[in-house]
Amino acid sequence: MTTMTDASVREFKMPDVGEGLTEAEILKWYVQVGDTVTDGQVVCEVETAKAAVELPIPYDGVVRDLRFPEGTTVDVGTSIIAIDVSGKAPAEAPVEAPEAPVAAAPVADAAAEKKPEGRQPVLVGYGVAASSTKRRPRKGPEVPVQQASVSIQTELNGHGPAPADPAPTASAVPTAAAAQSRPLAKPPVRKLAKDLGVDLATVIPSGPDGIITREDVHAAVTATETPVPAPVVAQAQAPVTVPAAPAASYDAARETRIPVKGVRKATAQAMVGSAFTAPHVTEFVTVDVTRTLKLVEDLKQDKDFTGLRVNPLLLIAKALLVAIKRNPDINASWDETNQEIVLKHYVNLGIAAATPRGLIVPNIKDAHTKTLPQLAQELGDLVTTAKEGRTSPTAMQGGTVTITNVGVFGVDTGTPILPPGESAILAVGAIKLQPWVHKGKVKPRQVTTLALSFDHRLIDGELGSKALADMAAILEQPKKLITWA
C-alpha cells in the first residue's frame, strides 16, 4: 500500500460543519483517486444532523486516497481523503508491495506469478487493487477474491493491510483464515443484521465485490422462516434434535425498516429532549383573518413587493414580531446550569420547513429589524433554500421563537413542541371560509386557528395569553401594524 507518512501527503479530516456536531455521513464523492484538485474545490457532499453540506478541499494536489465509501458515517476529526500536494500522480509515488495476509499468502503468491513484469498492485480508494499506470476494472486473476475482500475491509476500518505475522502452524491457519474472512457490509447493513439476529457469515452477498446488501439480509431472514424438514431417524438411533430457526423480529415481506440518521435522527432526539425538559403549555385562539387576506392581495399589487413572495405567512410573521415587541419577556431562554432566565433583545425567527431529509427550522436573523419587504425577501429565500437542500447549519442555529404552518396540509391546528432552547412556537392552522358573526350578522368569513406553545418555566399563562391575543388582534385588524409597530 502507498505510504501515507510522506511529508507531501495532506490528510483532510471531517470538519465540524455545525456547532456541536460529532459525525456526518458521506453522501457523494465528486472526485476519484488520481484526480487533480485545487484549493477550494468541492470534493464531497456530507449530511450532518442538520443539513447536507458540500466540503471544499483546502489543498492543491492529486487525490491519493478516499478513506471511506459513500454512505459511511464518519466522526468529526477523522481523515476522509488524502491529497498528494507534490503534484505527482499516485502511480509516481513510492510504492510498497502489499504484505500478504496470513491465510491468503499462497493464493497471493500464485497470483503474483501470473502478473506481467512491472505491474505491482497498489491499494487505493477503498482498498481496490489498481495498475501502476491507470485504474482498471475489478476483475481477472490479478487480485484474488479473498485478498481483495480483506484489503477492502481493512481500508474501511482505516488501518490499512494487516502486518504479516510469523508463519503460522498448521493448527493456526484455520483460525487466521476465519478472522480474515469477515463478511463485507456497510455499517447500516451490519446494524440491520444485528437487529434481526442474522449472522452475516451465513448471508450470500449480491453486491459488488462481495458486499452484503440490505436485500441480502432480508433474504436471509425469509430463508430462516422456511420450515426445515425433520430428518428420518431409525428406530434404534437416538432422537435427533433440530435447532429451531431464529424467529424474525418482523414481517420482512410486509414491513420496511428505515435507519434513523441525519436530520431525522437529530429532530427525534431534540423533540424528546424538549418534550421531557420544558413544561409545555398550549393556548388557542380562533380569529377572523378576512381583512388580512385582503391586505395580502393589495400588497401583491404594490411596487415595493414586485418579485417578492407575498402570502398570509408574511403578515402572521409580522404580527408575531409586533406581539413580541409588546410582550418582550416572551422572547427568552432557560439556562439550566446557572438557573437563570435569559431575555433576548433580538428575534431570530424560525420557520419550520418540511424537506425530503426531514423537518428543519432555519431562522431569519434579527427579524425584528426587517421592514415588511425585507421580511418577505428573507422568507422567500429561506423557503427556496430549504426546498433545494442548501440550508446551512448556521441558518439553523440561534433561533428564539418559531412559526410552523400546519395549515398548508389542511390541518386546523396542533400542539407543537418547542425547538430546544426556544421559549415559544406558533402553529398556524388552515384558513377556511366559515360562518362568522360579523357586525351583528352571520356572514361567510375567512377564519383560522392559532396555537401558541410556550415554556411554562419562562412564560406564565397571563404573558402567553397577552401575546397570543395581540397576534389575533393584528390579524383581525391589520391596521394595528401601524399603531402598534
- pLDDT on residue 374: 96
Separation between Cα atoms, residue 165 and residue 187, nearest integer Å = 28
Separation between Cα atoms, residue 365 and residue 356, nearest integer Å = 24
Separation between Cα atoms, residue 138 and residue 448, nearest integer Å = 62
pLDDT one-digit tens code per residue, 419-459 = 888 999 999 999 999 999 999 999 999 999 999 999 988 89
**305 and 385 assigned to the same domain:** yes
**449 and 370 assigned to the same domain:** yes
Looking up cell 458486499 gives: 211
- pLDDT on residue 111: 40
- pLDDT on residue 35: 92
| Residue 201, domain member (yes or no) | yes
Residue-averaged pLDDT of the chain: 76
| Residue 236, domain member (yes or no) | no
Cell triple for residue 267? 429532530
- pLDDT on residue 262: 65
CB 147 within 8 A of CB 120: no
**340 and 210 assigned to the same domain:** no
**438 and 312 assigned to the same domain:** yes
- Is residue 124 very low, low, confident or very high in pLDDT (cuts 50, 70, 90)? very low
Separation between Cα atoms, residue 240 and residue 231, nearest integer Å = 8
CB 82 within 8 A of CB 34: no
- Is residue 167 very low, low, confident or very high in pLDDT (cuts 50, 70, 90)? very low
| C-beta atoms surrounding 163 within 10 Å | 7
Last residue in a domain, options 91, 108, 127:
91
**364 and 218 assigned to the same domain:** no
| Residue 428, domain member (yes or no) | yes
Separation between Cα atoms, residue 343 and residue 458, nearest integer Å = 10
- Is residue 109 very low, low, confident or very high in pLDDT (cuts 50, 70, 90)? very low
| Residue 382, domain member (yes or no) | yes
**480 and 386 assigned to the same domain:** yes
- pLDDT on residue 344: 95
CB 162 within 8 A of CB 104: no
CB 431 within 8 A of CB 293: yes
- Residue 305 pLDDT more than 70? yes
| Residue 324, domain member (yes or no) | yes
Last residue in a domain, options 91, 114, 139:
91
**372 and 313 assigned to the same domain:** yes
Q: What share of the chain is helix, strand, coil (3-state, %, to 5)?
A: 30, 25, 45
- Is residue 393 very low, low, confident or very high in pLDDT (cuts 50, 70, 90)? confident
- State how many domains the chain has: 4
| C-beta atoms surrounding 42 within 10 Å | 13
Element (H, E) at 46: strand 42-47
Supply the CATH number for residue 326's domain: 3.30.559.10
- Provide mean pLDDT across the span 380-397: 86
**107 and 86 assigned to the same domain:** no
**28 and 59 assigned to the same domain:** yes
Is the Cα torsion angle 303, 305, 311, 313 positive or negative in sign? negative
Three-state DSSP class for residue 234: coil
Task: Calculate the dihedral angle through the C-alpha atoms of 192, 198, 202, 208, rounding to the nearest 10 degrees.
Answer: -10
Domain span at 121 = 95-156
| Residue 174, domain member (yes or no) | no
Last residue in a domain, options 156, 172, 201:
156
Supply the CATH number for residue 32's domain: 2.40.50.100
Single out the catalytic residue among 159, 368, 438, 456. 456
| Residue 166, domain member (yes or no) | no
Cell triple for residue 50? 442538520
Residue 456 is a catalytic residue: yes
Looking up cell 480474515 gives: 180
- Is residue 214 very low, low, confident or very high in pLDDT (cuts 50, 70, 90)? confident
Separation between Cα atoms, residue 375 and residue 401, nearest integer Å = 15
- pLDDT on residue 343: 94
- pLDDT on residue 313: 96
**14 and 107 assigned to the same domain:** no
| Residue 123, domain member (yes or no) | yes
Separation between Cα atoms, residue 328 and residue 190, nearest integer Å = 51
Task: Compute the radius of gyration of the chain from its Cα atoms.
Answer: 31
Question: Would the pTM count as exceeding 0.75?
Answer: no
- pLDDT on residue 7: 76
Separation between Cα atoms, residue 189 and residue 195, nearest integer Å = 10
Q: Which are the contacts of 339, defined by CB distance < 8 A and separation ≥ 6?
A: none
- pLDDT on residue 251: 72
**286 and 435 assigned to the same domain:** yes
Separation between Cα atoms, residue 465 and residue 330, nearest integer Å = 11
pLDDT one-digit tens code per residue, 311-344 = 999 999 999 999 999 999 999 998 888 888 899 9
**143 and 198 assigned to the same domain:** no
